[in-house]
Structure 1
Amino acid sequence: MTPTSPRRSDPAPEIPDALFADPAAEARWRGRFTAARVSVPDWARDAPDRSVYSSNATGTWEIYAWDRASDTHRRVTDRPQGTRGGAASTDGTAIWWFDDTDGDEFGVWVAEPFDGGAASPAVAGASPGYPAGLELGRRTVAVGWSTDDGSTLAVSEDGAEARVVYTHTEDAGIGALSRDETLLAISHAEHGDSRHPAIRVLRLADGATVGERHDGVGPDGNGRGLDPIEFAPVEGDQRLLVGHERRGRDELLIWDLATDTESEVAIDLPGDLSAGFYPDASALLVAHTRAGRTTLHRYDLATGELSDLPTAPGSVGGADVRPDGTVEYGWSSAAYPSSVRALRPDGTDTELLAPPGDRPAPSVALEDAWVDGPAGAVHALWTRPEGTTGPVPTVFMIHGGPQAADEDRWSPVRAVWVDAGFAVVHVNYRGSSGYGSAWRDAIEGRPGTTELEDIAAVHEWAVSTGLADPAACVLEGWSWGGYLTLLGLGRQPERWAVGCAGVPVADYLAAYADEMEPLRAFDRSLFGGSPEEVPARYSEASPLTWVDAVRAPVLVLAGENDPRCPIRQIDNYLDALAERGVPYAMVRYDAGHGSLVVAETLKHTVAEIAFTREALGLPVPA
């Protein structure tokens, strides 16, 4: 378990009751946060009328059961800090969810009857740990967990005690279970590079390896990872859909284990690709991501024909194909809130699962900018308050990950900053996904510094174009974005007037010592070794190293139970700020890496905007 430091007192930000003097404006922004939302449902394979989804309808993200035949809904979980995700058993009789403690991500899978009842540990003999994948079959369950000792992958057949099929000190995870439940594909990093994993396929009858793929390092010197996505959903079909990056972007191939042959899926689209099988395995549902937006397509495996599936411009968050060919997907854009939709074979596209209550008010759209950076064009998405001209206070909202990206999607947080009079700029710096493998991997060996170079280029663009007021630029982010915020305040103090960092890495050496083992493996891949092996790289990348240069007021927000960016290393950084007399404030909450409680998220946003206004001397809008 992650060590924690004793609870302590730090200066707390003043959190006003309202951000706006106008009651209508106050109600509008709060309504965007509190409006109910739902996730794309997952359904039981052999009982597709039985579905599971997540919703914040009660003010906390929890798991819900949906019986489509009777159109009845039941809240499954009711936990103070919420529940992150669930799945339906293959026969639809049970719902699985991960039972951790106060958001610390350490626990076991539990199951309860679909129609209600007590939850109990779902896999006999499975040890507590951080989740490392789950696959549910008719007779077989494959489950993975990780601890400080490494990764363990196991199977349980017909409810029997879990049988370990793989264990290693390096990172590994459950990938895919064949439909006949004879083969299990796993992802592993025995080669020491968890950012670019290999695939092994095991025969469950005896644990023997029946196939291995490791793309290693490409001719450009960059790693090449493989991702086992899913087996063809047909009995006896041993084709495995695999994500690869052999040509420097995320693409697809099919590996037939019966013949040990590969066939690459040739799709002529410029961005990154992900996919899943249609129910009869005759086609793939393909998601194409480029420049922060997603399009959906159907790829016919026999003919190679690629058909566009009509969706509105924006981002797709999850998509799957029902037995009747209906594509269910989540959609949103910066201007319009999220919606779970059903695109039927006849082309009709309707809302599938409407959340209860009022819909949130729309916000403003995002625009694109391609900014010259030190290693090529940096893609930024930006918006400004309607009716404003000339330079305005600007928040540079830096995404986490780092293997993620900002997209044209709905964000109540962005919307309230805009309502409060700030322009918002998102930077898809080197390290971001969706712009090719070389862009994503450019931070290896030099994390933090590389991203800040791209952020600096976009900052200069925003100032030079008259968008951003150079005296009122705010650096803000959560997780890796929070880390870059603290690092930027120390390495680029002349650029930033305020910093707001949520669940950040603040002291990299202490963070490595305390964080969950999968993240240690990630860090070793990112830095090229452990702190003992490459100490100078960790020191260079640590915000604590640069704390002497920080001069902007700093707001830090962190969870007491966070296994990813643990609290002790954040306290070390706050101690350093206090010793140097840098003005700072701290919001602590009793959860993990972020909160699933809407009221807590709302509080964090109010704290950030109020802290920033005070630091910049900005009035509350009339």
Structure 2
Amino acid sequence: MSTQSAPQFPAAAVPDRLFDDAAAESRWRARFHASRISVPDWAIDAPDANIYVSNASGVWEVYAWDRATGEHRRVTDRPNGTMHAVPSPDGQWIWWFNDTDGDEFGSWVREPFAGGAEATPAIPDVHDGYPAGLEIGDSVIAVGVSTDDGSKLFTHANGETKLFYSNEDDAGIAAMSRDERLLVISHSEHGDSRHPALRVLKTGDFAVVADKCDGEGKGLSALEFSPLRGDARLLVLHERRGREELLIWDVEADTETEISLDLPGEVAAGWYPRADALLVAHFHQGRSSLHRYDLASGTLSSLDTPPGRIGGAGVRPDGTVEYGWSNAAHPPAIRVRADDGTDTVLLEPPGDQAPGSSPMTDAFVDGVGGQIHALVSRPADAPEGPLPTVFSLHGGPHAADEDRFSAYRALWLDAGFAVVEVNYRGSTGYGSAWRDAIEGRPGLTELEDVAAVHDWAVQSGLASASQCVVNGASWGGYLSLLALGTQPERWAAGIAGVPVADYVAAYEDEMEQLRSFDRALFGGSPETVPAVYKECSPITYVDAVTAPVLVLAGDNDPRCPIRQIENYLSRLAARDATFEFYRYDAGHGSLVIAETIKQTSIEVGFALRALGLR
């Protein structure tokens, strides 16, 4: 929470309604209000004990599901919601992360799976901080905490808590073996948190078993140990050939087996319960698919999921695969696929399903750094000819837009806008070189790709050149502000949610994990490479902004802190620029559905007014 009185800026207008037609108004709100749930996470030794998160109450909270009895119970009830929870292996406890008003700073608490008791501190002698990994065993617990002083990693066993690792650079708990003998940490002692290395320790005396670092620009991610006790095989993501691929590392023998799959794009995976196969999630050009990889034969078999986005997946003890799925036209569903190929809905959230929306198509545009993939959506009843168009820039930057259902995108379409989502350089899923191309020049590099796609959209007749809106949240909000200042001729309006606006001030106030990330991305801190931070900061170009600007920000945001946003807005105010500001009491976004609806209506209403469409 900001300790000083907040500067007064022009308040954003909150429209009573966006559509005169009652059915249209009801339809867009229904998409947001429709209950959604995540793929259930079950206790490994008690698979009837499941947890998931849902917005059924109007706020995203943790729920328990006892499959033996069929009972569903809401576990958490907090004003700003709860998203992070883990079941204990025996199914007796639910651990969830308890922060303050969405600020992500706090500690783990636990309560009985069956309920009947208040949550209590899970490990009282571990200090508060930002979460940096958690592994829960029957007798050993490993937990990571990040603060401004760096990273600290602890174990708790036999009633005793031990600090076993401390470093000023970013580190975290990555995985623990099924028999709880071995613990893997991810670290950036080499100075590059974007490409971490791995270290395996014994949980008894913390002796180093093995280290693995693939060198400059090649990160390693520990996915999970084999589910079998006594099995020291660790599933790892590597990028030795320019994209994320799989290997199995026997950490005690220090031998590894790279798994080469004939799939374009990138992959992740988890184990089947008998550790004889992998469930492979494949991502390529904005869409996901699931496959089974047999370790003995090396055979890869498709599970034939429909085109779209896989939103989490896991294999039950009986071999069935449970996964989340949606595409741009169809709302999310939690499905289960049996060995015989039968695929059915596993869980239906309460209430009415969200109304559907329009499908999306692909665009491939040549850019200075290579071919750019964009996902394009048009309103179902759009007239021929150019349309007002929103260029929606994803956050991250290490993320990617996908062919998934979005109530947010659907509303823009209902309002008559085309929507273009750009997987610019910096996005994941297109290889390491594409992801890392923004190093040393973040923001400006991505906007070269956005400009190329903007040119294509106008020249192809999709977008009206005088009615283009740049829009995004988090990293996408940063790019939106930077675009308004460096490409003012392209944009009729800009919308930035929880953005970085003044990068030097943001670096001073943000969580240490992000400072570490920024040092790796920019090539140093603002003290060591000041020119890079200046060149890539939106506030440097604030005087060139000509389009109306809407900024939305949370008071308690540790990722894009409020002070640096106020700095930017003060510069806009000093030159009587046209802008509006919406400030809310939460962190990096909101888990409250009513608040999400309010913010979305503010954004769309602002764009309609800025473009003279309302």
TM-score normalised according to structure 2 size: 0.99
Q: Please list the CA deviations of residues 155-206 of structure 1 after superposition, one character each: whole Å capped at 9, or x if unmatched.
A: 1114x23211211000001110001101001100000100000000001111
Partner residue in 1 for 2:612: 617
Partner residue in 1 for 2:30: 31
**Residues of 1 paired with 2:233 and 2:34: CA distance?**
42
Partner residue in 2 for 1:296: 290
Partner residue in 2 for 1:220: none
How far is 1:451 from its partner?
Answer: 0.3
**Residues of 1 paired with 2:381 and 2:102: CA distance?**
41
**Residues of 2 paired with 1:44 and 1:474: CA distance?**
46
How far is 1:32 from its partner?
Answer: 0.2
SS in 2 for 1:522: helix
Partner residue in 2 for 1:96: 95
How far is 1:9 from its partner?
Answer: 2.4
How far is 1:4 from its partner?
Answer: 5.5
**Residues of 2 paired with 1:577 and 1:49: CA distance?**
56
Q: How do 1:253-402 residues align onto structure 2 when only pairs under 5 Å count?
A: 253-388=247-382, 389-402=384-397
SS in 2 for 1:600: helix
| RMSD across aligned positions (CA) | 0.9
How far is 1:582 from its partner?
Answer: 0.8
Partner residue in 2 for 1:444: 439
The one-letter amino acid paired with 1:422 is F
**Residues of 1 paired with 2:118 and 2:337: CA distance?**
36
**Residues of 1 paired with 2:11 and 2:315: CA distance?**
48
The one-letter amino acid paired with 2:512 is E
Does 1:527 pair with 2:526?
no
Q: How do 1:35-434 residues align onto structure 2 when only pairs under 5 Å count?
A: 35-116=34-115, 117-158=117-158, 160-217=159-216, 223-388=217-382, 389-434=384-429
- Maintained 8 Å contact 1:175/1:187: yes
Partner residue in 1 for 2:585: 590
Q: Please list the CA deviations of residues 507-538 of structure 1 after superposition, one character each: whole Å capped at 9, or x if unmatched.
A: 00000000000000000000000000000000
How far is 1:16 from its partner?
Answer: 1.4
**Residues of 1 paired with 2:83 and 2:102: CA distance?**
9
The 4+ residue runs of structure 1 with deviation greater than 3 A are: 2-5
- Maintained 8 Å contact 2:209/2:252: no
**Residues of 2 paired with 1:361 and 1:194: CA distance?**
41
Q: Please list the CA deviations of residues 37-71 of structure 1 after superposition, one character each: whole Å capped at 9, or x if unmatched.
A: 00001111111001000000011000000001111
Q: Please list the CA deviations of residues 78-128 of structure 1 after superposition, one character each: whole Å capped at 9, or x if unmatched.
A: 000001121111111111100000000000000001111110011131110
Sequence identity (%) = 64
Change (3 A) 1:506 1:4: farther
Q: Please list the CA deviations of residues 424-461 of structure 1 after superposition, one character each: whole Å capped at 9, or x if unmatched.
A: 00000000000000000000000011000000000000
Does 1:494 pair with 2:481?
no
Partner residue in 2 for 1:504: 499
SS in 1 for 2:583: strand
**Residues of 2 paired with 1:437 and 1:380: CA distance?**
18
SS in 2 for 1:387: coil
TM-score normalised according to structure 1 size: 0.98
**Residues of 1 paired with 2:164 and 2:270: CA distance?**
26
SS in 2 for 1:317: strand
**Residues of 2 paired with 1:561 and 1:383: CA distance?**
34
The one-letter amino acid paired with 1:230 is E
Change (3 A) 1:312 1:48: same
Q: Please list the CA deviations of residues 284-323 of structure 1 after superposition, one character each: whole Å capped at 9, or x if unmatched.
A: 0000100000010000111100010121110001111100
The one-letter amino acid paired with 2:518 is D
Partner residue in 2 for 1:453: 448
**Residues of 2 paired with 1:598 and 1:3: CA distance?**
24
**Residues of 2 paired with 1:204 and 1:5: CA distance?**
45
- Maintained 8 Å contact 2:176/2:184: yes
SS in 2 for 1:319: strand
**Residues of 1 paired with 2:514 and 2:21: CA distance?**
45
How far is 1:387 from its partner?
Answer: 2.9
The structure 2 residue matched to 1:581, chosen from 576, 583, 586, is: 576
Q: Please list the CA deviations of residues 451-486 of structure 1 after superposition, one character each: whole Å capped at 9, or x if unmatched.
A: 000000000000000000000000000000000000
The one-letter amino acid paired with 1:488 is A
Partner residue in 2 for 1:542: 537
SS in 1 for 2:283: strand
How far is 1:5 from its partner?
Answer: 4.7
How far is 1:3 from its partner?
Answer: 6.2
SS in 2 for 1:342: strand
SS in 1 for 2:160: coil
- Maintained 8 Å contact 2:2/2:555: no
The one-letter amino acid paired with 1:477 is G
The one-letter amino acid paired with 2:514 is L
The one-letter amino acid paired with 1:599 is A
- Maintained 8 Å contact 1:497/1:553: yes
Does 1:482 pair with 2:481?
no
SS in 2 for 1:451: helix
**Residues of 1 paired with 2:99 and 2:253: CA distance?**
42
Change (3 A) 1:358 1:131: same
How far is 1:8 from its partner?
Answer: 3.2
SS in 1 for 2:531: helix
**Residues of 1 paired with 2:375 and 2:573: CA distance?**
35
SS in 2 for 1:162: strand
**Residues of 2 paired with 1:415 and 1:252: CA distance?**
36
Does 1:569 pair with 2:538?
no
The one-letter amino acid paired with 1:208 is A
**Residues of 1 paired with 2:123 and 2:249: CA distance?**
30
**Residues of 1 paired with 2:9 and 2:77: CA distance?**
31
Partner residue in 1 for 2:554: 559
**Residues of 1 paired with 2:602 and 2:473: CA distance?**
14
- Maintained 8 Å contact 1:4/1:567: no
- Maintained 8 Å contact 1:123/1:161: no
Return 5+ residue gaps in structure 1 as ranges: 218-222
**Residues of 2 paired with 1:204 and 1:89: CA distance?**
18
SS in 1 for 2:358: coil
**Residues of 1 paired with 2:65 and 2:292: CA distance?**
27
SS in 2 for 1:494: helix
SS in 2 for 1:350: strand
- Residue correspondences, number: 612
Return 5+ residue gaps in structure 2 as ranges: none
